[in-house]
Amino acid sequence: MYPNLLVPLLVVLAVALAVLVLVAVRQPVPRRLAFRQLARRRTEAALVIGGSVLGTAIIIGALVVGDTLNFSVRQEAYRTLGPVDERVVAPAGPVGRTVTERLAGLADDHDVDGVLSAEVTQASAVSGTGSRTVAEPRVLAWQMDFKEAAGFGAQGGDSGLGGPNPKPGHVVVNEPLARSLSVGAGQPITLYLFGAPQTFRVDRVVPERGLAGVGLGGRMNHDAFLAPGTLESAARAAGGEPRSVTFVSNRGGVESGDALTARVTADIRRTLGPHADQTAIETPKHTVLRDAKQAGDSLGALFLMIGSFSIIAGALLLVNIFVMLGEERKSQMGMVRAVGMKRSRLVGSFTLEGAAYALLSALPGVAIGVGVGWGVAVVAAEVFRGWSVGGSSIRIAFAVTPTSVLNGLAMGLLIALAAILATSLRISRFNIIAAIRDLPASPGRGPRRRLLIVSGALALLCALVAFPAVARSQPDATYLMPALALAFATPALLRVLPRHATTNLVAGAVLAWTLLAPVVRPRIFDTPSMSVYVIQGALAAFSAVVLVSENQKALLRPARRLLERPSESGLAARLAVAYPLAKRFRTGATLVMYTLIVFVLVLLTEISGILRAGVDGVVADATAGYSLRLDYNPQSSPGRFVSELRNGRSAAEIAAVTPLLNATGRATDPGHRSPQPLDAAVVGVPDGAVTGITFRERLPGLADDATVWRALASDPRYVVIDGFFGSTGGPAGDYYDPGDALTLTDPRTGRSEQKVIAGVLSNGMVFYPGTGSRSTTYPVVTSEQATRELFGDQAQNASALVRNRPGTSPDALASRLQGEQLSSSLVATPIESDVRRQFDSSTAFFRLMQSFLALGLGVGITGLGVVMVRSVRERRRTIGILRALGFRARTIQRSFLWESAFIATEGIVLGSLLGVLTTWLMYSNSAAFEGLEGGFPVEWGNITGLAAATFAASLLATIGPARRAAAIRPALAVRVSE
């Protein structure tokens, strides 16, 4: 993922490594000090390397997930298109034959590898007999010359179809159709061609690849290939004609030919001349590859956002480790400085040591990261299988690219090096005499004048940038600029306020703004970018932890009686809180790790709960009393389908049938996110038929939902759309409002009309095509009259909404109707079941992200364990003195366990509170949650389980260090420094 980042990242990394090599070569003393520490402290090295490995692995895992999703969607181009770059669909009759003849001459074009003409009709199929009958309502029956098909686009690879033509009475089927019908070579199937059944014997089954998987827009196509003349004969018997389709293959391979799409499309239009307006010239491969990039990038960015919190936790772990190393070696560093070593060389020694740890973690981090990506891909395969529409779903196939591995490796190393350098600079600024004597750091002087001037200028600059950013609801800047302005104002505030008051004021103001920004500017979440959530979470966690760390003594007042008890437990409790209170920086860094990860886990848990609570309301909005959506082939039963439903065998179970007029169009994006026209499924509704379907927003002056539908019926300018129109990933947001305009175009004729949005649907599920169309086809709902005026005879009744009678199961009715209407290629979709399945898939997706984020929680728990291990080493003499004074080993062990419990409890409580509060603010103010009317549930059970598991894991991570501390021998600890 992100090939545009590869070169900059590698350049920066190369510069950083070159500087490190230069320091190592030109400064032998710091080099010897660094590598001596590396060799002597193997346990310490293992801990640091482990933290770096986790950070690198999480980054690479997120990028590998993006690769997998990108590759999986791009596989559609290989599976269902192969060498097909352009598809020209002509109407049946003389125009279709003329188009085919004209396009045959395109084979001499330099940019074209091949031209293949075919005929197709929509059919349905049945296999078996008696009770074991299996039906497939959506089949594409093709007629094409197999010899020509075998050579089609051959320079770019296998066309997917070859061998001899099937004999009369025989058929070649692809694997999806064979699986659906449970048939193999030599077995009979019945195809309903133009509404009439014909029996064929399966010649062979071909893999779903290239021409053998081709379709007219769906991801999964059930294809049957007939003998020459079969379709024409069936059409003549029914008084109809098959549609003419011409496939064009661009020069080059599956993806390289995409670069020629615009040029070849122009050649096709020029070749067709006046007939170009009567045909649909489609570029399916270009569309698939474009959509694949959008889907892969957005979903990969989502996982990278989740991983970002774990990355921050990993960087804090590194900072904590090196701060503790510096504290432990303070006396040694003070002596080194006292004998004349410059501060810059001390920084170089520490940075070289840390860089060695980071480099040693690189290869294990890559291996574990790829493994994490593979594990997520396995789980995601099950999740995305549930996201099917009409049998069409994303097929997850694991993939990893060198670009992602190098990007992840470079990011991990640069983050580690930056954390190490920053920590080295911080710990190098000590008082030499105090360091040698191991005295606590004295309070620093007030800010210097130079720092005051620079920070004041930066604070003013950030404040000036913040005002227009907040006014325009720019997501990242709305959060970041005010927070930076407050942070840069700290030195100036220290001149007039005490340090404690300044810290509380700045941290409190940042936390308050982070929580209240969605209330003041609710549109900040109207973006598919994930960075705003990373910034919000990081600011909330850091500011809250600073407040807690600064006010620990006040927070511990309720526990004063326990701490002051003259007993062994009271003594252990005092020891447990004394060290965290004394070492606020490292305690705060550990608290941030816990708070960040628990915050996001609770956030995802709450969002899942909101979805579950709102599903009943969404079902009501989506169905409006209708139980089934029917999609059928209008050419198989023109004009009689609805009457057959109302008077057929299942008529007693049907309360109402509402036919919908359908056409394929193109629409501009009313949210102005993309300059490219969007594929639109235009739906014409009968006047007054669907007034029960609700809107989340209406045009001013339209008082209620029924008024919107009446306005739609009376004025052909009006259309309604749903909140996901033009969405390409991330939160749907609120990019358009009633009153905004879009341009609707008939791609066949090129005729366009400007439409006005009269309302935004609460849920537009019933208007989405149920026949496996691409996920980037969006419904535009208007009146029947407006649809016919713009699209003419292209507009046909091809779908209907059905309301079942009380006591009738929608799922059972759907199965019966599909069996009764096989000749119409009917696909019946139970609306409620479909909505609930989509919600179940969304919940499963959130669980997948929670599992991915659990790695970050592992980083936090590992960080606590590392801190406790380092604390035992650092407090070795103190523990020895306590043991010599009579403290029992059990008291020492209990104090370490309680210290871990104290830090973990604060992090868990803080993260949980922030998670619940932030989700509530988002739910109350973000357009992403509009239409979910189930209320805001607090998932006490899940949050309690998460807290208990985190607390138990934290104690387990501390048992080892606690036992080690209890086992320290007093005499050796007092006499020996290591």
Residues 253-309 pLDDT 10s: 767 778 888 899 999 988 888 888 778 888 888 877 777 777 667 766 777 777 777
- The pLDDT tens digits for 750-797 are 889 999 999 998 888 888 876 555 556 889 999 999 999 999 888 888
Least confident of 82-86, 606-610, 924-928, 942-946: 924-928
d(CA 122, CA 120): 7
d(CA 590, CA 317): 7
In-domain check, residue 711: yes
Whether the predicted pLDDT of 130 surpasses 70: no
The distance from CA 289 to its chain's CA centroid, rounded to whole angstroms, is 18
Identify the band that residue 390 occupies on the pLDDT scale cut at 50, 70 and 90: very low
Segment 654-667 mean pLDDT? 89
List of residues 6+ apart from 512 with CB closer than 8 A? none
The vertex-480 CA angle with 519 and 295, nearest 5°, equals: 85
Whether the predicted pLDDT of 70 surpasses 60: yes
- The pLDDT tens digits for 196-223 are 899 999 999 998 888 888 887 666 788 9
Highest mean pLDDT among 587-596, 689-698, 706-715: 706-715
pLDDT of residue 392: 45
Around Cβ 55, how many Cβ atoms within 10 Å? 32
678-685 and 777-783 beta bridge pairing: parallel
222 in the same domain as 132: yes
258 in the same domain as 120: yes
253 in the same domain as 292: no
| Mean pLDDT of the chain, nearest integer | 82
170-174 and 86-90 beta bridge pairing: unpaired
pLDDT of residue 219: 62
774 in the same domain as 821: yes
H or E segment at 818?
helix 810-820
Whether the predicted pLDDT of 507 surpasses 90: yes
Whether 626 and 685 have beta carbons less than 8 Å apart is answered as no
Choice between 12 and 412, residue whose per-residue pLDDT is larger: 12
Least confident of 526-530, 848-852, 949-953: 526-530
At residue 621, φ and ψ (nearest 5 deg) are -65, -40
Tokens representing residue 682 in the block? 């235009």
Nearest to 148 by CA among 170, 164, 172, 167: 164
Domain boundary among 250, 282, 314: 282
The range of the structural domain enclosing residue 254 comes to: 86-282
Tokens representing residue 778 in the block? 């969006």
List of residues 6+ apart from 705 with CB closer than 8 A? 691, 692, 693, 694, 695, 698, 759
- The pLDDT tens digits for 252-269 are 776 777 888 889 999 998
Whether 680 and 742 have beta carbons less than 8 Å apart is answered as no
The full length of the chain comes to 978
In-domain check, residue 557: no
765 in the same domain as 661: yes
User: 553-588 as b/e, with b when 16 or more CB fall inside 10 Å?
Assistant: eeeeeeeeeebeeeeeeebbbebbbebbeebeebbb
Whether the predicted pLDDT of 391 surpasses 50: no
Segment 577-601 mean pLDDT? 83
CA distances from 926 to 381, 517, 523, 832 (A): 30, 11, 7, 26
- The pLDDT tens digits for 615-644 are 777 777 777 788 888 888 877 655 677 787
Choice between 909 and 422, residue whose per-residue pLDDT is larger: 909
Cα radius of gyration (the chain) = 34
**Amino acid found at 921:** L
List of residues 6+ apart from 327 with CB closer than 8 A? 427, 874
H or E segment at 548?
helix 531-550
d(CA 422, CA 322): 10
At residue 634, φ and ψ (nearest 5 deg) are -65, -25
Whether the predicted pLDDT of 388 surpasses 70: no
List of residues 6+ apart from 347 with CB closer than 8 A? 421, 424, 425, 428
Eight-state DSSP code of residue 82: T
278 in the same domain as 297: no
Tokens representing residue 400 in the block? 């990893």
802 in the same domain as 942: no
Whether the predicted pLDDT of 978 surpasses 70: no
Crossing angle for the helix pair 362-385 and 402-427, to the nearest 10 degrees: 130
112 in the same domain as 256: yes
The upper half-sphere exposure of residue 151, i.e. CA atoms within 13 Å in the direction of its Cβ, equals 7
Is the four-CA dihedral 896, 898, 902, 904 of positive or negative sign? positive
Around Cβ 816, how many Cβ atoms within 10 Å? 17
Around Cβ 279, how many Cβ atoms within 10 Å? 24
- In DSSP terms, 174 is beta-bridged to 206
Choice between 419 and 168, residue whose per-residue pLDDT is larger: 168
Whether the predicted pLDDT of 804 surpasses 70: yes
Give the number of domains in the chain. Answer: 5
Is the four-CA dihedral 822, 824, 830, 835 of positive or negative sign? positive
Eight-state DSSP code of residue 551: T
In-domain check, residue 358: yes
d(CA 251, CA 229): 31
Tokens representing residue 300 in the block? 């990969």
In-domain check, residue 554: no
Choice between 212 and 154, residue whose per-residue pLDDT is larger: 212
In-domain check, residue 782: yes
Nearest to 911 by CA among 954, 962, 957: 954
Nearest to 916 by CA among 535, 525, 540: 540
Whether 310 and 856 have beta carbons less than 8 Å apart is answered as yes
**Amino acid found at 539:** L
605 in the same domain as 644: no
Whether 220 and 772 have beta carbons less than 8 Å apart is answered as yes
- In DSSP terms, 754 is beta-bridged to 743
In-domain check, residue 113: yes
Roughly how many angstroms between the first and final C-alpha of the chain, as a whole number?
A: 47
688 in the same domain as 798: yes
Least confident of 173-187, 649-663, 761-775, 909-923: 761-775
d(CA 776, CA 302): 19
H or E segment at 151?
helix 146-151
Eight-state DSSP code of residue 100: H
- The pLDDT tens digits for 450-505 are 888 888 899 999 999 999 988 888 888 898 999 999 999 998 898 888 988 999 99
In-domain check, residue 4: yes
Domain boundary among 515, 548, 581: 548
d(CA 95, CA 1): 45
Nearest to 922 by CA among 521, 502, 646: 521
Choice between 538 and 333, residue whose per-residue pLDDT is larger: 538
Identify the band that residue 607 occupies on the pLDDT scale cut at 50, 70 and 90: confident
Whether 740 and 725 have beta carbons less than 8 Å apart is answered as no
d(CA 25, CA 558): 57
CA distances from 638 to 142, 546, 632, 796 (A): 21, 71, 10, 9
827-830 and 718-722 beta bridge pairing: unpaired
Whether the predicted pLDDT of 943 surpasses 70: yes
d(CA 297, CA 729): 9
- The structure's pTM equals 0.76
Tokens representing residue 241 in the block? 């004609």
Domain boundary among 776, 802, 825: 825
902 in the same domain as 844: yes
In-domain check, residue 883: yes
Tokens representing residue 785 in the block? 């009259």
772 in the same domain as 671: yes
Segment 862-872 mean pLDDT? 75
Whether 790 and 802 have beta carbons less than 8 Å apart is answered as no
Choice between 703 and 295, residue whose per-residue pLDDT is larger: 703
